Structure 1
Amino acid sequence: METKHVKITLSIISLFAVLTCTGCSLTHAENSNSEKEKIKAAISAQLNASHRSIKNQARDKYRHPAETLAFLGVKPNSHVVEIWPGAGWYSEILAPYLKEQGQFYAAHFPANSGVKYFDKHLANFKQKLASNPIYSKTQLTEFHIDKAYAIAPAGSADVVLTFRNLHNWYMNNQEAGMRQAFDSFYKALKPGGILGIVDHQLPEDRDQEQWLKSGYLKKSLAIEIAEQAGFKLVGDSNINLNPLDDADHANGVWSLLPVHRGKDPKLLNVGESTRFTLKFIKPNQ
């Protein structure tokens, strides 16, 4: 009888442990979803702000900024680096969102590069930062794949974000350019920090080399190079996929909005390109 009693007791304990762990998992999932909803709501509040142009707001339906940043876990107190912010489409959202509790680093083109395109866009971005106090705490840093740049103090960033840049580095210097970029991201991130990537997605059944100049990139290639740099994939979202885009255009991604090179009227209905959205973590040391 004592043996039977012990077995029953152990069974009850085991069952309780399973139920407790299940409850913990559910609570964790609920907390995670709750956190995402909070981020989404806070980002959404920035989208209709007066400092954003009507033109930029019109692109929200293609870029899904609130959903994207919530998926990547960008909290108001995060230290965030945006790589090559261009004209500042995402910076308009991130700078005021992070201004009070976090820190925003805009890693733009290198100064005095001698490249007219770089110099022009960097000058325009600096003018943008000076035009509105919402950018007063933004730290302007530099980035390029030609060497290692301090995009933020080493090991300090909670999140590094790169939107539609990876294909540029691949087009110009193939995998070597991508590796240099990922090494810089890894150095800037703290252990447990997040790398978020959004880029134009090439179907996996196509030859990447043949589509080198299209602006589209295989998701598997992005994952492969990131993992070789030490990152671990922890999220893959369909948020920015566009089923209307077959990724087969005469002028690559630039055939579509917002560039609309070639002016094919049929492509206006496609909208912007289909894009993968990946979330990586820098493992704890």
Structure 2
Amino acid sequence: MTVRNRLLNLLFIPLTVLGLNACSEPSETTATAPNLLQQAIDSETRSASNRARDEFRHPAETLEFFGIQPTSTVVEISPGGGWYTEILAPYLKDEGLLYAAHFPANSSREYYQRSRQAFMERVTNDAAFSAVVVTEFAPLSDSVIAPPESADMVLTFRNLHNWYMGGGEEAVQDAFMQFYSALKPGGVLGVVDHRLPEMRPDEDMASSGYMKESFAIAMAESVGFELAARSEVNANPNDTADHPRGVWTLPPTLGLGDDDREKYTAIGESDRFTLKFVKPKS
């Protein structure tokens, strides 16, 4: 499918869906946004294994830092199995709109196909996911994550390292360009990833799964974003970012199996930077 046809498909999303975000006046729902967000986080529709990771991922504090509202139009980049989608989908369902920019349908990688198919099945069968609009995303491709300048917010969680390891600086910069295009002027880009200490060699980003915060900022600013704020909500001072199998040594992967399992479980999930960027209004 061409870029033009993909974009046309997005533009002709049923009005009953787009109309959910058409109201410009503040609502009672917006006024109680934090309560609604916590309700979505506490919902029993979320899997128990996902809820168990809240202590490391801090979804309420992270999403509030980015400034999400129930009326927002949000693009979630590479949602995978839907960890954050389990929160975003019900939170945005009534008044907002959620685009899930998943792996391309024509990807030749078997893992990507399996992941996308599992996600699509959930969109079809899970009532909480029923209003999610699935699009596509891949760096250095003709993917369309959302109609141009339609989104209030683009969110990416622990993805930069994958793009960098797969395509280097060019892939990361292209990803940020796609985000910039999808956002309205004044829109927010929220970025979370595993943090590599600044004193470490840049080469360590090539295979460790950790990224320098300065690199993420430089890539975002190179396409026009402005850094609005940083948060340490996802910081973990116990993580040295120097492990035998990189970030995958730590939970939840525990790539060494039973070797030093207690040691790495005690460290917890990785140290992460949390960055809020804004697309300038002019």
Q: Same fold judged by TM-score > 0.5?
A: yes
Q: Relative to structure 1, is the Cα distance of residues 125 and 72 closer, same or farther in structure 2, using a 3 angstrom cutoff?
A: same
Q: How many residues align?
A: 251
Q: After superposition, where does 1:247-258 map in structure 2 within 5 Å?
A: 247-258=241-252
Shift of 1:37: 9.9
SS at match of 1:210: helix
**How far does the alpha carbon of each residue in 1:137-180 deviate from its partner, in whole angstroms, 9 at most, with x for none?**
11000000132321011000000000000111111111100011
- Tell me which amino acid in the other structure corresponds to 2:227: L
Quick check: 1:102 aligned with 2:85?
A: no
Q: After superposition, where does 1:1-285 map in structure 2 within 5 Å?
A: 39-263=33-257, 264-265=260-261, 266-285=263-282
Separation in structure 2 between the aligned mates of residue 210 and residue 84 of structure 1, nearest angstrom: 23
Separation in structure 2 between the aligned mates of residue 250 and residue 261 of structure 1, nearest angstrom: 9
- Tell me which amino acid in the other structure corresponds to 1:79: T
Match of 1:15 in 2: none
Shift of 1:44: 1.4
Q: Relative to structure 1, is the Cα distance of residues 275 and 40 closer, same or farther in structure 2, using a 3 angstrom cutoff?
A: farther
Separation in structure 2 between the aligned mates of residue 146 and residue 97 of structure 1, nearest angstrom: 31
Q: Relative to structure 1, is the Cα distance of residues 248 and 157 closer, same or farther in structure 2, using a 3 angstrom cutoff?
A: same
Q: Is the 8 A contact 1:41 1:66 kept in 2?
A: no
Q: Superposition RMSD on alpha carbons, in Å?
A: 1.5
Shift of 1:210: 3.2
Q: Is the 8 A contact 1:202 1:217 kept in 2?
A: yes
- Tell me which amino acid in the other structure corresponds to 2:241: A
SS at match of 1:272: coil
Q: Is the 8 A contact 1:251 1:261 kept in 2?
A: yes
- Tell me which amino acid in the other structure corresponds to 1:192: G
Q: Relative to structure 1, is the Cα distance of residues 205 and 119 closer, same or farther in structure 2, using a 3 angstrom cutoff?
A: same
Shift of 1:41: 3.1
**TM-score (normalised: structure 2):** 0.86
**How far does the alpha carbon of each residue in 1:196-217 deviate from its partner, in whole angstroms, 9 at most, with x for none?**
0000000000012134200000
Q: Is the 8 A contact 1:148 1:180 kept in 2?
A: no
Q: Relative to structure 1, is the Cα distance of residues 235 and 148 closer, same or farther in structure 2, using a 3 angstrom cutoff?
A: farther
Separation in structure 2 between the aligned mates of residue 217 and residue 148 of structure 1, nearest angstrom: 25
**How far does the alpha carbon of each residue in 1:236-264 deviate from its partner, in whole angstroms, 9 at most, with x for none?**
00000001111010000100111010032
SS at match of 1:197: strand
**How far does the alpha carbon of each residue in 1:92-117 deviate from its partner, in whole angstroms, 9 at most, with x for none?**
00000000000000000000211101
Query: Structure 1: which 5+ residue stretches go unaligned?
Result: 1-35
Shift of 1:131: 2.0
Separation in structure 1 between the aligned mates of residue 33 and residue 233 of structure 2, nearest angstrom: 15
**TM-score (normalised: structure 1):** 0.85
Q: Is the 8 A contact 2:153 2:189 kept in 1?
A: yes
SS at match of 1:182: helix
